[in-house]
Amino acid sequence: MTTNCKSVGSAFAGSSPARPTLLTSEGATVMLQSVSLRVITPVVWLEAPGWLTPAEASYLSGYDVETVRWLAEDGGFDTRDDGLIDKASIREFQEALLEVLHWRDG
């Protein structure tokens, strides 16, 4: 298991796009598989409806759908009888989580 890795840039293979690589502490170069990053901008957040399906809530929050469902069932998110999740409650949950994580910072 490698714990000390650093980025060494990109490697090119023919006409393939650049692929990120890591250099391990043992000096081996490891190619990383492509990762699709999801970027939620304020515009994306504002354009989302006030009540979301679990899939939409998953997309906006970054949690997988099963975690979103569990949080909704456990009271972390406000829900309606039809299973839709309140977008504002997702934001409130994330803000509360940040406060807990940074409790001793201030």
pLDDT in tens, 9-48: 333 333 334 445 555 556 665 555 555 567 888 999 999 9
Query: Which burial class, exposed, middle or buried, applies to 67 when counting CB atoms under 10 A from its CB (0-12, 13-18, 19+)?
Result: middle
pLDDT for the residue 6: 41
Q: How far is the CA of 73 from the CAs of 19, 25, 55, 58, 90, in angstroms?
A: 40, 44, 15, 14, 13
pLDDT by residue (tens digit) across 45-96? 999 999 999 999 999 998 999 999 999 999 999 999 999 999 999 999 999 9
Question: What is the spatial order of strands in the sheet that 19-24 belongs to?
Answer: 5-11, 19-24, 29-31
Q: How high is the pLDDT of residue 106?
A: 67
Under DSSP, the state recorded for 48 is: S
pTM summary value? 0.62
